[in-house]
Amino acid sequence: MRAPTFKSMLEYMYHGSLPAAAHDMDNDAARKMEFQHLYIATDRYGLDTLREMCEEVLYMCATISVSMVLSNLVFAEERTRDKCHKLKSRCLEFLAVGQNFKEVGVTNEYVEIMKDNPSLLAQVQNCFKRPRLS
């Protein structure tokens, strides 16, 4: 476990809140990475409330974009048993909107991910079958 992740966990255990430093990061990718590490650590140590807080931050602060959607989707898929459904749903909804899938679906990264995750491929396909709210 990385030292900043451990420090964030300790701060939560002693103060009951998310570490302020994690919110102050200017780089969205760095913030996402830190909260992903923290999310993974919460599973190892059974900190369910902190895990839910991390998912909420990942859901709210992670800019879902064509360049980021696949990494967010894979992260959420790998943690489905941990209840990271909110982030996963957001990624699937993003793919179903406008031209997003056309941009993502032609990348080598997408092809490789779907080869390795056939159940995820089925979920992506299903997101186009569901009626979307306008």
pLDDT digits (tens, 9 = 90+) for 12-26: 889 888 776 565 555
CA distances 106 to 16, 32, 57, 63, 66, Å, are 44, 25, 29, 21, 11
State both tokens at 101. 């899938």
pTM: 0.67
Per 3-state DSSP, what percentage of the chain is helix, strand, and coil (rounded to 5)?
Answer: 75, 0, 25
Question: How do residues 122-131 score in pLDDT, each as one tens digit?
Answer: 888 887 776 5
Average of per-residue pLDDT across 95-105: 83
Neighbouring CB atoms inside 10 A of 50's CB total: 21
Question: How do residues 26-66 score in pLDDT, each as one tens digit?
Answer: 566 677 778 888 888 887 888 888 888 887 777 766 566 77
CA dist., res. 14 & res. 117, Å (int): 39
63-134 — its CATH code?
1.25.40
Work out the burial of residue 33: count CB atoms within 10 Å of its CB; fewer than 13 is exposed, 13-18 middle, 19 or more buried. Answer: middle
Give residue limits of the domains in the chain: 1-62, 63-134
Confidence of residue 132 (pLDDT cuts 50, 70, 90): low
Average pLDDT in the chain: 79
